[in-house]
Structure 1
Amino acid sequence: MNHLLRSISFIFHPLLMPLLGVIFYFSKSPRFIPKEVITAKLISLFILTIILPILLYFLLKTLGKVKSIYLETTSERILPLILNCIVVIIVIQRILTPTQIIELYFFFVGILISSMTCLVLAFFKFKASIHMIAVSGVFMFFIALSIHFSININGTLALMAIISGAVATSRLHVNAHTYKELLMGIFIGVIPQLLLVPYWL
């Protein structure tokens, strides 16, 4: 059980959540989007939101700025969160502009707001759960998409609820966060997505 709970934190790492949201969008959107465009977007996002952060992480680790991929202290979080904000800004300016795919544009604007909020809290020595920020933000985006496209994705939403609970349990099990930090993570993930829904729903 110990290995399973630790694996959950790794499998549903925050780095993977934005791309998961984008893949889900393309799989459910009724709009016609050329396959070439989808492929180009996914490859670009994979490089920017997963490959680049991993490379930056190893650079920061080599420089002694971080100790692990889980960024266990608030001081370790500051530089990676700043870099993450820069990456997300590049995404919304170059890859997912509002004139192309407005839903994904505001999804990433929400991610940017969540990241900036987490960064501000880190300066004040508060460690909100980045895992919960990521999974709850994607969960809220899925709910909004189901309303926006009038599609029944109850099974997916139920699965996301289970995943959210599993991630929270995992983070508690490894003593990475307190209940307060997990709840703050949920709020930071959900509220920006919720507030931005009227701009694209």
Structure 2
Amino acid sequence: MNYLLKSISFIFHPLIMPILGVQFYFSKTRRFIPEQLGHAKLISIGILTIVLPILLFFLLKTLNKVNSIYLRDVKERTLPLLMNCVIVFLILQRVLPIDEITELYFFFVGILCSTFACLILALLKIKASIHMIAASGFFMFAVAVGIHFQININGTIALMCIILGAIATSRLHLKAHTPSELIIGAFLGFMPQLLLVNFWM
């Protein structure tokens, strides 16, 4: 059981949630998007949201700015979160401009808002679950996409509810977060996506 719960934290790592959101959108959208454009966006976002943060983490570890990938200390979170804000801003400027794929643009605006809020809390020495931020943000975006395109995503909603519960259980079991930190994380991920729906739906 310990191995299973630890695996859940790795499988549903925050770094993969943005690209999962992009892939979900491309698989459900009723807009015509050229296949080559979709692949180019996925590759670009994959490099910027997964490969680059991993490389930056090893750089920070080499410089003794972080001790482990878990970022257990609130102080360790400041630089990685700041770097992630810069990366998401770069995506908004160069990869997903507002006039190209509006839904994905606001999805990443929501991610930027959530990350910035988490950074502010870290500066105030308040810890929020980044796992829950990422997963709940994706969940809200998926629900909004389903409503927007009037498609049945009940299976996705049910699966995401299970995944959110599994992530919360995993983080509690590993003593990585308290229940309040999980609730704060879920709120920070969910609310920006919910509020931004007004701009693209």
Q: TM-score band, normalised by the shorter chain?
A: over 0.9
- Residue in 2 that maps onto 1:51: 51
CA RMSD of aligned residues (A): 0.5
Matches within 5 A, 1:10-159: 10-159=10-159
Distance across 2 between alignment mates of 1:62 and 1:4: 30
Amino acid at match of 2:98: P
TM-aligned CA deviation for residue 68 of structure 1 = 1.4
Identity rate of aligned residues, in percent? Answer: 66
1:69 shift after superposition: 1.3
TM-score, L = length of structure 1:
0.99
User: What is the alpha-carbon distance in structure 2 between the residues aligned to residue 39 and residue 146 of structure 1?
Assistant: 22
TM-score by length of 2: 0.99
Inter-partner Cα distance in structure 2 for 1:76 and 1:87: 18
Aligned counterparts, 1:179-194, within 5 A: 179-194=179-194
Measure how far apart 1:73 and its partner are.
Answer: 1.1
Structure 1 unaligned residues grouped into runs of 5+: none
Q: How many Å separate the matches in 2 of 1:130 and 1:73?
A: 13
**Deviant stretches of 4+, over 6 Å:** none
SS in 2 for 1:68: coil
Letter in 1 for 2:151: I
Provide the secondary structure at the position in 2 that maps to 1:113. helix
Q: Secondary structure at the match of 2:176?
A: coil
**In the aligned structure 1, how far is the partner of 2:134 from the partner of 2:146?**
19
1:9 to partner: Cα distance: 0.4
5+ long unaligned stretches in structure 2: none
Count of residue pairs the alignment pairs up: 201
